[in-house]
Amino acid sequence: MVRVMKDFPTHSFQTLQTPFYFYDTALLQQTLDAVSAQLARHEGYRMHYAIKANANPVILRMISAKGFGADCVSGGEVQLAIAHGFAPKSVVYAGVGKSDWEINIALDAGIGCFNVESAAELHVINELALRKGVKAPVALRVNPDIGAHTHANITTGLAENKFGINLEQLGSVLHETLSLPGVEYKGLHFHIGSQITDMLDFQALCNRVNSLSHELSRQGLPVGDINVGGGLGVDYEHPDNAPLADFDAYFDVFRRHLDTRPGQLVHFELGRSIVAPCGSLITRVLYVKEGTSKRFAIVDGSMTELIRPALYHAFHLPQNISSDAARPVTTYDVVGPVCESSDVFAKAIDLPECHRGDFIAFRTAGAYGETMASGYNARPLPKSYFSTDFL
Ligand code: LLP
């Protein structure tokens, strides 16, 4: 039985300074077990957790202990992954703008694969590897020109997006890769976007990968392993109905639609679906204010701890976890204290009447919450606590 946030004894929080992140470790463990069970069904499937989603040390340790690899997008993330138990060979590193020092860090660490996003980057990696007398393992990140049905800011696989090598250039960049002495070709990498809940988007990706593999083989070029990226979405509206993302449906699409050859590995880079459900941002009500036409619940958490509502109009279900069932329901705009009109968590939301000091939890905040926190307005970075801290 998954313990849901509203059942959690809030008296444990009384002495803690808000805002903070609360992570349900049992739920994270359950999620990791569900992913592992899926991977166990297919010998060639490999998971590289996208650590940009949440790089909290406790969470990284739990995930690396499961034997997953890491998907990184900066030299800092490569270092973080390795410092928290991810095997260097299981680290993959993507990003359109890798600096020389970041490439050198990854070369020194001996990571498993650079996901290369342009011919120019390929040549720099080749040179830096030759200088060190090593061969850099590389996959080519392809821009598959597939639109995912998600927020425009988080699609990545369209021709208009900056990511990857476009389909027309792929053949020639692959030729170059094979000719350069400082790199070793490993395969192809794709990522179409994030918070994708329509499995047909992943099916379209499989079809694109299949036709591309077929075309490369026809030209006598190697395909290598396939990395399909991440992107599986979660249910932000109903966090307690579906605490786990739909891993069954997700892996089923790849099992059914991605053509693989014997010995070919399929890499996955899930981030959000692994960590979003287990995290909540816990805030306290500071003031309730009557506006001209609405009522504001002003909490002590803000866009500096959780920027997703301000940046993507994302919804994180607010729950008054201090109220008992007897309180009347009232409609609020739930806002933070930062000096920006966009520092709003939710508009016109019904909550049990809010009083100063009540805890308001913003649910499903385990992904792209703590990692995107900032110090704007000289606010301190949020602390984090784990369900196991309160046993
Ligand atoms: N692989 C690559 C190459 C990526 O760019 C990403 C995410 C992932 C994997 C992991 O995707 P996921 O499984 O988490 O969807 N800050 C935004 C999300 C940005 C995602 C960037 N790339 C948000 O808060 O919604």
106 with 125, same domain: the answer is yes
35 with 112, same domain: the answer is yes
Q: Which of 348, 378, 234, 369 is nearest to 303 (CA)?
A: 369
Q: What is the pTM of this model?
A: 0.96
Domain end call among 257, 276, 295: 276
Q: Ligand 1: does its nearest atom lie under 6 Å from the Cβ of 189?
A: no
Domain end call among 255, 276, 297: 276
pLDDT tens digits, 184-199 = 999 999 999 999 999 9
137 with 253, same domain: the answer is yes
Report pLDDT for 11: 78
pLDDT tens digits, 160-171 = 677 889 988 999
Domain count, the chain: 2
| Residue of minimum CA distance from atom 23 in ligand 1 | 368
Write the CATH number for 291.
2.40.37.10
| Residue of minimum CA distance from atom 5 in ligand 1 | 191
16 with 29, same domain: the answer is no
Q: Provide the phi-psi class of 348: left if phi over 0, else alpha when psi is between -120 and 50, else beta.
A: left
Helix axes of 199-218 and 247-257: crossing angle, nearest 10 degrees: 30
Write the CATH number for 56.
3.20.20.10
Domain end call among 276, 301, 336: 276
What is the C-alpha end-to-end distance of the chain, expressed in Å? 17
Report pLDDT for 141: 96
Which regions in the chain score pLDDT beneath 50? 1-4
Specify the residue for token string 């809010």. 354
Report pLDDT for 351: 96
The Cα angle at residue 69 between residues 66 and 72, in degrees rounded to 5: 135
Report pLDDT for 242: 82
Q: Ligand 1: does its nearest atom lie under 6 Å from the Cβ of 269?
A: yes
Q: Ligand 1: does its nearest atom lie under 6 Å from the Cβ of 117?
A: no
Report pLDDT for 164: 86
Report pLDDT for 150: 62
Report pLDDT for 245: 97
33 with 150, same domain: the answer is yes
Report pLDDT for 326: 85
Report pLDDT for 10: 78
Q: Which of 381, 375, 151, 367 is nearest to 280 (CA)?
A: 367
**3-state class (DSSP) for residue 330:** strand
* Ligand 1 atom with least separation from CA of 195: 15
| Residue of minimum CA distance from atom 9 in ligand 1 | 230
Q: Ligand 1: does its nearest atom lie under 6 Å from the Cβ of 308?
A: yes
CA of 369 to the centre of ligand 1 (A): 12
Domain extent, residue 11, equals: 2-21+278-390
Q: Letter for the amino acid at 111?
A: I
Q: Which of 60, 51, 13, 18 is nearest to 380 (CA)?
A: 18
> Which 8-state DSSP code applies to residue 4?
P
CA of 270 to the centre of ligand 1 (A): 8
Question: Within 10 Å of residue 127's Cβ, how many Cβ atoms?
Answer: 16
